[in-house]
Amino acid sequence: MTRKLELHWKILIGMITGLLFGLIMKNLELNGLVVDWIKPFGTIFINLLKMIAVPLIVVSLIVGLADLKDISKLSKLGGRTVLIYLGTTIFAVSLGLVLANIVKPGRFINGASRQSLLESFSGDASQKIELAERAKMSGPLQPMIDIVPDNFFQALSDNGSMLQVIFFVILLGIGLILIEEEKAKPVVDFFKGLNEVIMKIIDIIMLFSPYGVFSLMAALMVEIPDFTTLAALGIYGLTVLFGLLIMIFVLYPTLLMVFAKVNPIRFFKAIAPAQLLAFSTSSSAATLPVTMECVTEHVGVDEEVSSFILPLGATVNMDGTSMYQAVAAIFIAQAMLPQALDLQTQLMIVVTATLASIGSAAVPSAGMVMLVIVLGQAGIPEAGLALIFAIDRPLDMCRTVVNVTSDATVATIVAKSVGKLNQFPQDKKL
Ligand code: ASP
């Protein structure tokens, strides 16, 4: 009897074999071979996911909004979503601050390691600082201006303009709700058909996922700095990891049980492919198509809700990132400043890290660029970024899992609150 292996197991096998393969190649000093011949398949896989993300957002959001049939439902949905997103983010930053103040990871780094990290990674750090400077130069209302596109087609062609796309599509959806049903119907029907097609394309792309993940992990293994560099940052890394684990295994399960009456184990099983992809790609945006599919088809959140909440969440809701920013800021302050940060500065970090995580793009290491702004506001030397560079990639992978889990959790809770959750419908294999 042959039983089809579930997708998340295949991805997991791809991940582990990729890591092992990378390790062997690294030991054989065949790094170049992996970078030239294996890594491109990982890049192709990420490109495929990104390629489908914008069409998916546009089409499913139009279908979802048109199905709402009532503007007041949209504002209710929007209000709840934003509130819960903000709530979980503020919790995450506060948790990060508490952990970093208790563990004091900055005190574990000795003078020699500090010097060597600062020297080795100062170039990489100044690149990020420059990127952040550019983001900082604009006025306080710039983020608001940035949401409104001056050219929708330009926004469509730029994966970094997801919020602009969402803005326009919401207007389109509102337009469809407000016009006569008879006139709206052919438009909505067209997009419903297209939606099915896009979902099918995602299924096809996912067939490739175990191989894509294998390549990404093998490339990661040969490109990561060596173990001694990572070991110096061990306590800092473990503090971030511990915080992320609390979010995943305590916060979200509690929220799911209390507010959505959902069994967390079944929930995690349903979204496992999205979590594994988040880990492998370090990008919530690239993972979005799979998150949408898992949350809609496996968890049972109605598309009306998921099509609105998940794209928004991928761009603005980053609990893992904000938690990491809080720990990283305190770590750098402890390692670089003679005195501890006062309470007022730490409270400022809650505000800036919350805003910074909202402003972070859903792509690898974006959280680190925005961390520069958090450091600047708190008077912590930005050059300290060089300290955490070596370990950023593995932590990025882990915080992206939390970002995606948070989006899926909030979508489930909001769906339950508006009666749009049909828990774990007959599981359709991806
Ligand atoms: N890689 C993260 C994401 O895509 C953002 C970050 O923390 O760098 O969600």
Q: What does the pLDDT look like over 114-143, one tens digit per residue?
A: 887 788 788 888 877 877 776 666 677 777
Please tell me the predicted confidence (pLDDT) of residue 296.
94
Residue 275 C-alpha to ligand 1 middle, in angstroms?
A: 13
Q: How far apart are CA 322 and CA 174, in angstroms?
A: 32
- Domain positions in the chain are 7-429
* 3-state class (DSSP) for residue 202: helix
The answer to whether residue 32 scores a pLDDT higher than 90 is yes
Best of 50, 162, 365 to mutate for ligand 1, by most ligand atoms within 8 A of CB?
A: 365
Please tell me the predicted confidence (pLDDT) of residue 281.
93
Cβ < 6 Å from ligand 1: which residues?
A: 282-284, 318, 321, 360, 362-367, 396, 399-400, 403
- Token match 């809650």: residue? 350
Best of 89, 284, 370 to mutate for ligand 1, by most ligand atoms within 8 A of CB?
A: 284
**Is the CATH code 1.10.3860.10 the one for domain 7-429?**
yes
Q: Where are the beta strands (DSSP E) in 148-222?
A: none
Question: How would you label 237-275 residue by residue, b for 16+ Cβ within 10 Å and e otherwise?
Answer: bebbbebbebbbeebbbebbeebbebebeebbbbbbbbb
Cβ(373)–Cβ(136) under 8 Å?
Answer: yes
Q: Where are the beta strands (DSSP E) in 12-119?
A: none
The answer to whether residue 271 scores a pLDDT higher than 70 is yes
Best of 403, 404, 405, 406 to mutate for ligand 1, by most ligand atoms within 8 A of CB?
A: 403
Residue 314 C-alpha to ligand 1 middle, in angstroms?
A: 9
Please tell me the predicted confidence (pLDDT) of residue 76.
87
Q: What does the pLDDT look like over 296-329, one tens digit per residue?
A: 999 999 988 999 899 989 988 999 999 999 999 9
Instruction: Give phi and psi for 299, each to the nearest 5.
Output: -75, -35
Q: Which atom of ligand 1 is nearest to the CA of 403?
A: 9
Best of 363, 398, 407 to mutate for ligand 1, by most ligand atoms within 8 A of CB?
A: 363
Average pLDDT, integer, range 384-412: 93
Nearest CA to ligand 1 atom 6: 367
Tokens of 123: 């170039």
Nearest CA to ligand 1 atom 1: 364
Please tell me the predicted confidence (pLDDT) of residue 2.
43
Q: What does the pLDDT look like over 49-82, one tens digit per residue?
A: 989 988 998 998 898 888 877 788 888 888 999 9
- 421 DSSP β-pair partners: 301
Residue 339 C-alpha to ligand 1 middle, in angstroms?
A: 30
The answer to whether residue 426 scores a pLDDT higher than 90 is no
Closest CA to 206 of 367, 11, 390: 11
The DSSP string of 118-146 is: HHHHHHHHHHHHHHHHHHHTS-TTHHHHH
Q: Which atom of ligand 1 is nearest to the CA of 287?
A: 4
Tokens of 201: 């394309």
CA distances from 263 to 251, 256, 257, 270, 299 (A): 14, 7, 6, 11, 10
Tokens of 34: 């992996």
